[in-house]
Structure 1
Amino acid sequence: MSRWFRVYDDVINDPKLLKLPEALRWQWLALLCVASKNGGKLPPNDDIALLLRVPEAKAAEFVTKLVRAKLIDNEDGVFVPHNWDGRQFKSDTSNDRVKRHRENKRNATCNVTSGVTDTVTVTAPEAEQKSDTEQSRAEASAPVDEDLKRRASALGAGISAHFVSRGQSIPNLDRCLLWLTQGYASGTILGAVERCLKRGKVITTLDYFDGAIRDDHAKIAAPAGDLQVVSSQVFVISGTLAAACWEQHSRSTGGRGYPTTTRRVDGSVQEGWYHPTEFPPGYDEQTGERLPAQSGEEHAA
């Protein structure tokens, strides 16, 4: 059965959509169609993949990116288009209008002239008075705690992708917000989740990961009570050339890479790790290449 749903013409000016790659905008519209066929929510990922004619991993990627863009909301593990209920209101259905019209015709007196016609007005709820663009701008100026909610939503999307890629059902994701408020870094959480899922055990609740996250966080926690030691460390931001050099240095010395933590600087959150120097010894700070070891220093500690 074919249905119709509302798309407002001002959507072409929505900042959230304009920031998306062009191809992802079409996937967003396609997911609106999927949601319309499924009562306003997205079905399981394998059904999404089938309807979009893409692999399941690609479908999960689309949903994850749109959650991060705040165009899809994660409501207790169920993904729904943002503000779907507010924009697709019940008065859009024609059933009630047709019923009223027929009742009026039955009850009409014989002196009603043929020139009289019923006028039916569909009035959008008060929430509809605000366009998509206005709402996006309002969200951009939301209080600081909205940043935490956004990070929790992105974390939930990342965890969902891990579950989907391993063929497991997505559990309730409320714990994401709790973990972040407890000071755990997103990278630490995702690393622990991925490691546990690789064991192949079916997991139905995020509580299962509490111990692994707590242990990983304890291993990477900066030294407490020794401010001099902490102050002598250099915070290397993840994704930089220096961070890539430290990862290479860890692998070349038999390590498994470095964990991550977060710090807040001038209102923004940075993710990375503390190191004794910005670059590991023996690396070119301009190119990131490992410098040839000098004689007598090949195996220096």
Structure 2
Amino acid sequence: MEQAGPRSAHGSAGAGVPDIRTGAVRVPAQPRAADVDRERGVTGRAAGAAAASRPAASAASAGSGGPVGTGTGTAAGAAARGEHTHSETPIPRPPAEGARPVVQRASVRGQILDALRTALVEGELAPGEVYSAPALGERFGVSATPVREAMQQLALEGAVEVVPNRGFRVVERGTRELAELAEIRSLIEVPVMLRLARTVAATRWAELRPLAEATVRAASSGCRATYAESDRAFHRAVLALAGNAQLVRIADDLHRRAQWPLVGGPASRGRADLVADAAEHTTLLDALIAEDLTVVQSLVREHFTGA
């Protein structure tokens, strides 16, 4: 598994979202008022009333030298929810070339959840660090609400844990947990694959070859998040041949957990390691087509351990 890179030192406040490479680490806490209005469905007269109520808060902010006010769209509102963004490790923005697109308003929560899962795999969300919904919302250009909902889903999955009065901490995992996940996956998937090797026709296995080849292309790109998704897609397709939806769901959850970053684990896997890992998929297909149960069992166990 990849290990997150070094964490940046805390620095002084800056405008907008800080770049971890610049040393600026202070993040504005509240979303734009227009975003808050849109989320609440404030239109027409309601929007006018909301706009009329903002000058007073703006004047108070100007007088105090910082954001003040009440409600969910202000720093005070964020503090009331227990989210403080000062002294927080920033999330680096992707480089301009090849950057991920800014999320759209439709299905914001789902897009944010996917983006956070990618950030976990890439190590942008460092194990042990605490992140607030307002800071992450600023990072992705959305309000705190969809970020908070996505982080709560990650908490249910075990990727993060809620920290009262602060936000969400990325769970710290070691090599022992990774080994335990590999053991559980092996206990579940090896017997299933051995049974499928005896019962599934060679033509059905051949239909999965495009997915195996997709993992090789993803590995060749060097993007860990892209490879992680294609890797899980291949394993889901193999297990789906068993006709057990619950098995696929549980195995996929274990697989996803095995892809999260480690603390004190091995060095990050490079492109060559990913390509070698992906090549095992095509080798496994060949063994399944040939009904070589000994090779299938060996490959699956080694594949889990290497993952």
Q: Which has the higher contact order (CA 8 A, sep 6+)?
A: 2
Would you say same fold, with TM above 0.5? no
**Structure whose residues are more often strand by fraction:** 1
Larger Rg: 1
TM bucket (normalised to shorter chain) is: under 0.3
Q: What TM-score do you get using the length of structure 1 for normalisation?
A: 0.25
